[in-house]
Chain A
Amino acid sequence: SQQGEEDPQALSIQEGENATMNCSYKTSINNLQWYRQNSGRGLVHLILIRSNEREKHSGRLRVTLDTSKKSSSLLITASRAADTASYFCATVSPSGTYKYIFGTGTRLKVLA
C-alpha cells in the first residue's frame, strides 16, 4: 500500500483564508516533500523537509514535520484562486533506494 495518506481528501476555502492539509506516513523517512499538481499536468516541487527538521518556510508555505507521529502538515497562508490544485506529500526512505512514495493527495479549491 502507499506510504502516505493525506487529509482532508478535498478542501474548499475562500480567497484570503489559510489552507491546512496533513500527511501521515508509515515507515521511517530520510525526507518528506510536498508537491503541487494542476489539473491534468505534471507535479511541481514545493518544499522539502529533512527528517531532522521540524519546520520550514517558503513564501506563503509553512511545513511542519513530526517524526514521532509520522506526520507532516502544509499550511498555505492568504490563499489565492491560483492556489487551486491537488497537493501531494512524498516520502523518501533512508534505505537508499531513492524511491518516492506519494500520498493520496488533497484537492484544494480556492474560491474567488
Chain B
Amino acid sequence: EADIYQTPRYLVIGTGKKITLECSQTMGHDKMYWYQQDPGMELHLIHYSYGVNSTEKGDLSSESTVSRIRTEHFPLTLESARPSHTSQYLCATQGTANTEAFFGQGTRLTVV
C-alpha cells in the first residue's frame, strides 16, 4: 500500500476562510501532483512539483498555491475560500520516470 497521506479527508468551511490541505509521502518521491476532481468527473491537474523548491501550475487554472520546502510535504493553500472551490482534491506522487502514480485518499472540500 502506498504511503501517501492527505488531511483532512473532509472539510466544510465558510466563504473567505484561509485553508491548507496537507499532503505527505514517505516514499522519497521527487514528483508530486495536485488534481481537482468534481464528483463523477475527470481529474484536472492544478499543480505539480519535480522536487524541493520546484512548483509549476497545471493545466487547469486554480486560485490555490502550493509549496515544496521538503521532499515529503506538498501542501495546497487557498487564501480565501469560495463556493466555487468546492471539489475533491487529490494528491499524487511518482517515483522514477514512466512509472505509476500513487494517490492519496483525497480531501473533499465544501465551501458554504
Contact = CB atoms under 8 A, between A and B. Distances in A.
Contact of A45 (B45, B97, B100): B100
B64 interface: no
Interface residues of A, number: 26
B94 A98 contact: yes
- Secondary structure at chain B's binding surface: helix, strand, loop or mixed? strand
Given A2-B42, A41-B106, A86-B40, 4 more contacts: A42-B90, A100-B45, A101-B59, A102-B35
Interface of B: 6, 31, 33, 35, 40-45, 48, 50, 58-59, 88, 90, 92, 94, 97-106, 108
Interface of A: 2, 30-31, 33, 35, 40-45, 48, 50, 86, 88, 90, 92, 98-105, 107
